[in-house]
Structure 1
Amino acid sequence: MTDIVVPTLGESVTEATVGQWLKSAGDAVKKDEVLVELETDKVSVEVSASEDGVLSEIVAKEGDTVDIGALLGRLNANGAAKPAPAKEAPKAEAKAEPKAEPKAAEAKPAASSGGGASTDVKVPVMGESVAEGTIANFAKKVGESVKKDETIAEIETDKVALEVPAPADGVILEWLVKEGDSVTPGSVIARIGASGAAPAKAAEAPAKAEAPKAAAQPAATGDRPVSPSVRRISTEAGVSASDIPGTGRDGRATKADALAYVNQPKASASTMPDTAAKPPRETGPREERVRMTRLRQTIARRLKEAQDTAAMLTTFNDVDMSAIMDLRKQHQDAFVAKHGIKLGFMSFFVKACVNALKEVPAVNAEIDGQDVIYKNYYDIGVAVGTEKGLVVPVVRDADDLSLAGIEKAIAALGKKARDGDLTIGDMQGGTFTISNGGIYGSLMSTPILNPPQSGVLGMHRIEDKPIVRNGQIVIKPMMYLALSYDHRIVDGKEAVTFLVRVKEALEDPERMLLEV
């Protein structure tokens, strides 16, 4: 008997609500088949069977609140033949069982292709809110030997590239997916057998991959039960849940079906040749067509969603950088000698923004449905340009860090971004973003929000300009600042006040450091 328990649900999530059981007590299930869907305050989590068997008991009912590790139900691993006694006498079943069991036993060695037990390679958890990824490449081929924890594949998600390690020593028996395939956390992508095991025939893998696609033709949801996650997604997207084609049990729509359905119109409008949209044009002799990476596709989608969702507006101001530049020049050598890192501009901007966010909390908040969530912590995202695209790693609890602490955190995150070592955790949970276009020479811009945040500050290049001070024209190093904000939650007065407070803090850094 195997217990079905609530898995780890993600950072800061301690409980969930049982949304929908996709199997009933007594139903036969296959390994990795989804049994029940759990709803948290952030995401929907699917709990799958750990092995073949029969769902013998359901302990937690739909609507129950359960903690991590709580018992959801029980799975009888030897229950594949359990329904048989109702149809045949026990004696008959006793004779039948030996015939049925060897076939199942023979199938496993065939799958492992070596006579020994094989080890499944599963897609690891990709991080909060990341429901799928794309197989970017295989580091090992079928038949090659691998060591435990050796990287055998790379998965590209919306945010970062994720390495898949080998769970055990052995030989790659077969790949169950192809490069470019979409995969979800927990799905099996390969099998590893003991050294000396014969790999599966290359022709078998495509057959296995094709079978589910052919069998999973979606059926209209109609009047069938709708899970909470499907209902929430359809409501937020403004579509009817009954219109979503379902691939789940009895034709029910799953969360994946709902996400695919609500996202389909955006993709199909520009890519499907059988619609009114113009099909991809032919490339010329001096042109090259390259498919966008998943990260670039996500950047494009999220930036467009930000424009479509938020009432985005930008306000501008300029700041005299003389005081910051003089302070850096005066103390740079001592700062480097003590802290081992240079004193840059970004730490001052982070400090200035934190002070302003404390005074104007709406810029540090987010909209959640009909509610506003005010955040009493300051995790500042710092936009970093890489070869693969723009990423926004987060400096945690920036209000508790010194200037040196902020500089070190930014330098460490920047290095990880350039080396491709950023993790999902490095980019989650930001409350406000700073983007420095000035390092590329930008004079002025209107930065786009990083949802669900309500504000983003744009920095620009420093230029010597004539300004009037005390009736005299003087030359000062000036920088334009731009604050883009969500007008649904931040009023114009609040936005202007925020930007003025940033300007004042930068022009008089002593007051900022003294918090006066």
Structure 2
Amino acid sequence: MAIEIKAPTFPESVADGTVASWHKQPGEACARDELLADIETDKVVLEIVAPADGVLKEVIKAEGDTVLSEELIGIFEEGEGGVIQPATTDVATAEPQSGTVQSGGAATLSPAARRMADEHGIDHGAVAGTGKGGRVTKEDVLNYVESGAGASAAKSVSNAPAASVAKAPAPEAIAPVFGGDRVEKRVPMTRLRARIAERLVEAQQSAAMLTTFNEVNMKPIMDLRREYKDLFEKRHNVKMGFMSFFVKACVEALKRYPVANASIDGNDIVYHGYQDVGVAVSSDRGLVVPVLRNAEDMSLAEVELTIREFGEKAKEGKLSIEEMTGGTFTISNGGVFGSLLSTPILNPPQSAILGMHKIQERPMAVNGEVVVLPMMYLALSYDHRLLDGKEAVRFLVTVKELLEDPARMLLDV
């Protein structure tokens, strides 16, 4: 029985997607729930799996093609009897897949592993998979590259005779420039990276963005963590980090200054009666911002657990569109990468974003004496169309005061 394979139903915020890769070829047997294809959208990579045991009969949308919500991308034949078709050796008719050096192997790669293999020009079939069902993970490709085998494989392909190179064509996306070690590589921008670029430019062009700075003494929170971190981890099965304190401090400041939690819609100002805090997370595909829904109702432990879950999903490329949609305020932590000071860019249509930075000991004047304290610079970028400087400064001062005296968050003072 023939079954239509369709693209997923995209939410309203996603207009279309791109077929990133087909993991099965026409005539190849598939088991139920086995990965067939990846659809890349502006926000996430969506996986298309086999609806039953059977054979992929026809590919209608090739890799790189744009697809709409629920658009037909292939035909699947339910039942047994599928076989893996041998790779063609006719150079005149064979069409290499962009960005890969194909081989006769039938390795199944995760989206992150496939991208890393393509970037290093590694034959997909050369990497042994340790994932479920023999699937090749990003770590497998990384270990393959670090072992030196990847470099040897790429070198052997470049030094092969012309006839053999024709059977395994070089990636179209890579354009080497010969002459010494001056090599260039050209790769297409992913949809996520293109969307990030578009939104960053949009934020700077459409908002009157301004940044105000302050600094916070992190010693009270560091002392609190030092005293209770073991008990906290034992009780909640998660480490006590700094981010949960910043989230709770921002939530309290947003309650006091609701305009920082608002957004502009045409000629209207939309005030949100809830605090959905986005937390910027770095992934292999780029910066993503999953959202803590109703952060005002979450405890410190719930915030830490949710952020940890977001981090794990971001590494595996499994964040859903729903988890990254919306948000009324964003926190970005450049300090994990060593940033001392920066000016974060707004996440439209939000009106403000807080930038955290590295903790660095500095001499500070306290009661007429010089004391070395662990200090962190804070940066609040805001839309001056909505927030006046007075409100923005008071918002940031409120965050500073709550962090320097965490008991105030508990006592609501």
The TM tier, using the shorter chain, reads: 0.7 to 0.9
1:384 alignment partner in structure 2: 281
Give the C-alpha shift of residue 404 in structure 1.
Answer: 0.9
Give the C-alpha shift of residue 196 in structure 1.
Answer: 6.7
Distance in 1 of aligned mates of 2:70 and 2:235? 47
Question: Aligned pair count?
Answer: 321
Match of 1:184 among 57, 68, 83: 68
Structure with more relative contact order (C-alpha pairs < 8 Å, separation 6 or more): 2
Could you list the per-position Cα deviations for residues 333-369 of structure 1 after superposition, in whole angstroms to 9, with x for gaps in the alignment?
Answer: 1111211111110000000000000011111111111
Relative to the length of structure 2, the TM-score reads 0.75
Q: Give the SS at the match of 2:315.
A: helix
Give the C-alpha shift of residue 126 in structure 1.
Answer: 2.6
Distance 1:196 1:324, change over 3 A: closer
Corresponding position: 1:465 with 2:362: yes
Could you list the per-position Cα deviations for residues 24-59 of structure 1 after superposition, in whole angstroms to 9, with x for gaps in the alignment?
Answer: xxxxxxxxxxxxxxxxxxxxxxxxxxxxxxxxxxxx
Corresponding letter in the other structure for 2:359:
I
Give the C-alpha shift of residue 198 in structure 1.
Answer: 9.4
Match of 2:35 among 126, 151, 170: 151
Q: Give the SS at the match of 1:135.
A: strand
8 Å Cα contact 2:264-2:270 kept in structure 1? yes
8 Å Cα contact 2:20-2:63 kept in structure 1? yes
Could you list the per-position Cα deviations for residues 140-196 of structure 1 after superposition, in whole angstroms to 9, with x for gaps in the alignment?
Answer: 110112234332110010001000123343221111111011101111000112437
8 Å Cα contact 1:133-1:184 kept in structure 2? yes
Aligned ranges for residues 50-69 of structure 1 at < 5 Å? none
2:270 alignment partner in structure 1: 373
Match of 2:392 among 490, 495, 514: 495
Distance 1:166 1:514, change over 3 A: same
Q: Give the SS at the match of 1:474.
A: strand
Give the C-alpha shift of residue 460 in structure 1.
Answer: 0.3
8 Å Cα contact 1:173-1:197 kept in structure 2? no
Aligned ranges for residues 187-206 of structure 1 at < 5 Å? 187-195=71-79
Corresponding position: 1:406 with 2:290: no
Distance in 2 of aligned mates of 1:197 and 1:348? 58
Distance in 2 of aligned mates of 1:463 and 1:451? 31
Relative to the length of structure 1, the TM-score reads 0.60
Could you list the per-position Cα deviations for residues 465-491 of structure 1 after superposition, in whole angstroms to 9, with x for gaps in the alignment?
Answer: 111111112111110000011111111
Corresponding position: 1:504 with 2:401: yes
Aligned ranges for residues 185-264 of structure 1 at < 5 Å? 185-195=69-79
Q: Which moved more, 1:189-198 or 1:357-366?
A: 189-198
2:313 alignment partner in structure 1: 416
2:351 alignment partner in structure 1: 454
Distance in 2 of aligned mates of 1:389 and 1:136? 16
8 Å Cα contact 1:119-1:168 kept in structure 2? no
Could you list the per-position Cα deviations for residues 79-129 of structure 1 after superposition, in whole angstroms to 9, with x for gaps in the alignment?
Answer: xxxxxxxxxxxxxxxxxxxxxxxxxxxxxxxxxxxxxx5221111113341
Give the C-alpha shift of residue 197 in structure 1.
Answer: 8.6
1:127 alignment partner in structure 2: 11
Runs of 4+ residues over 4 Å off in structure 1: 196-199
Give the C-alpha shift of residue 284 in structure 1.
Answer: 3.4
Distance in 2 of aligned mates of 1:197 and 1:469? 79
2:230 alignment partner in structure 1: 333
Distance in 2 of aligned mates of 1:151 and 1:130? 22
Aligned ranges for residues 76-95 of structure 1 at < 5 Å? none
CA RMSD of aligned residues (A): 2.0
Corresponding position: 1:353 with 2:250: yes
1:172 alignment partner in structure 2: 56
Distance 1:323 1:169, change over 3 A: same
Could you list the per-position Cα deviations for residues 270-327 of structure 1 after superposition, in whole angstroms to 9, with x for gaps in the alignment?
Answer: xxxxxxxxxxxx8633111111111111111111111111111111000111110111
8 Å Cα contact 2:54-2:82 kept in structure 1? no
8 Å Cα contact 1:126-1:162 kept in structure 2? no
Corresponding position: 1:478 with 2:371: no
Corresponding letter in the other structure for 1:484:
S
Which protein has the larger Cα radius of gyration, Structure 1 or Structure 2?
1
Distance in 1 of aligned mates of 2:319 and 2:12? 15
1:160 alignment partner in structure 2: 44
Q: Give the SS at the match of 1:178.
A: coil
Corresponding position: 1:284 with 2:284: no
8 Å Cα contact 1:135-1:182 kept in structure 2? yes
Q: Give the SS at the match of 2:278.
A: strand
Could you list the per-position Cα deviations for residues 405-450 of structure 1 after superposition, in whole angstroms to 9, with x for gaps in the alignment?
Answer: 1111111111111111111111112111100000110000000111
Q: Give the SS at the match of 2:355.
A: strand
8 Å Cα contact 1:323-1:509 kept in structure 2? yes
Corresponding position: 1:393 with 2:290: yes
8 Å Cα contact 1:145-1:195 kept in structure 2? no
